[in-house]
Amino acid sequence: MYLETIHVLSQEKENVRSIDISRKMGFSKPSVSRAMKNLKSEGYIDIDSDGYITLKEKGLQIAGKIYDRHRTLTEYFVSIGVSEKTAEEDACRIEHVISDETFTKIKEEMKKDR
């Protein structure tokens, strides 16, 4: 979820800091700081001397995949009559656990409907 949030925030603003992530996710600053430290040590993000966070290639790939799943699932759920709010919430939960096979089939089905 952190990588996806960094990805979304970086599309909304030029510089992303831990406080931005904390506000967006509703998590405490210490929790976000610990997560950023872990993500940095695992090679997913860089944090510069001013505290600005950027996704490294490894993090960008994962964030892009999750974000694509989120957008696609939300769109799919809305297309079958689910309210926007519920579709967003469900997509957020499902995007992390849905299999590649099932997600691919949903995308194929959506292409047929267009």
Q: Which two tokens stand for residue 66?
A: 């999750």
Helix axes of 84-94 and 57-79: crossing angle, nearest 10 degrees: 140
Other C-beta atoms lying within 10 Å of the C-beta of residue 39: 21
Q: Please, where in the chain does CATH 1.10.10.10 lie? A: 2-55
pTM: 0.79
pLDDT 10s digits, 53-92: 999 999 999 999 999 999 999 999 999 999 999 999 999 8
Query: Whose CA is closest to 7, among 103, 86, 71, 90?
Result: 71
Whether 104 contacts 70, CB under 8 Å: no
Other C-beta atoms lying within 10 Å of the C-beta of residue 26: 6
Architecture of the domain spanning 2-55? Orthogonal Bundle (1.10)
pLDDT of residue 112: 83
Q: Is the pLDDT of residue 5 over 80?
A: yes
Q: Please, where in the chain does CATH 1.10.60 lie? A: 62-112
Q: Domain 62-112: which topology? A: Diphtheria Toxin Repressor; domain 2 (1.10.60)
Q: Is the pLDDT of residue 105 over 80?
A: yes
pLDDT 10s digits, 13-50: 989 999 999 999 999 999 999 999 999 999 999 999 99
